[in-house]
Amino acid sequence: MSRLREHKMTTPTPETSVPEGEQPVATCPYCDRPFRRERLRDLHVGDVHEEWTEAEREAYEVAVEAESEDLFQYHLKVAGALGATYAVLFLLAVVGFSL
Ligand SMILES: [Zn+2]
């Protein structure tokens, strides 16, 4: 197997990249990069391109806000899953040691 093929098979496609044949939802007005979501485009414009307009700056701030909300919800889910696992293991231990 060639190294390139191996690389393609073992490297996961990032969620941000647009697969071939799929119509991109948004494109960067500066470098024409396609995006699957408008929020990703707004973040890209804010992070990579310096010469942004007032509207793009606002969109960037909204996108950053939404990203951090999503991240916070993800943290809550992870903490909840860990808490549930801990509770189940604790109950199993109580039942197991009382037999
Ligand atoms: Zn761009």
Express each pLDDT in 33-63 by its tens digit: 999 889 999 999 998 998 778 999 999 999 9
For the chain, give the percent of residues with pLDDT over 70: 88
pLDDT of residue 8: 65
Q: What is the pLDDT of residue 76?
A: 97
Helix boundaries (H) for the chain: 3-10, 38-48, 54-98
Where are any strands of DSSP class E within 22-87?
Answer: 26-27, 34-35
Give me ligand 1 centre to Cα 27, in Å. Answer: 8
Place of tokens 């485009």: 41
CA of 85 to the centre of ligand 1 (A): 43
Cα(35) to centroid(ligand 1), Å: 10
- 30: containing domain: 3-98
Burial class for 40, CB neighbours closer than 10 Å (0-12, 13-18, 19+) = buried
Ligand 1 centroid from CA 34, angstroms: 9
Per the CB < 8 A criterion, the answer to whether 24 and 36 are in contact is yes
Compute the average pLDDT of residues 72-93.
97
Model-level pTM?
0.63
| Spacing of C-alpha 47 from chain mean position | 16
pLDDT at 24: 84
Give residue 29 CA to ligand 1 midpoint distance, Å: 7
Distance 70 CA to ligand 1 centre (A): 23
| Domains identified in the chain, total number | 1
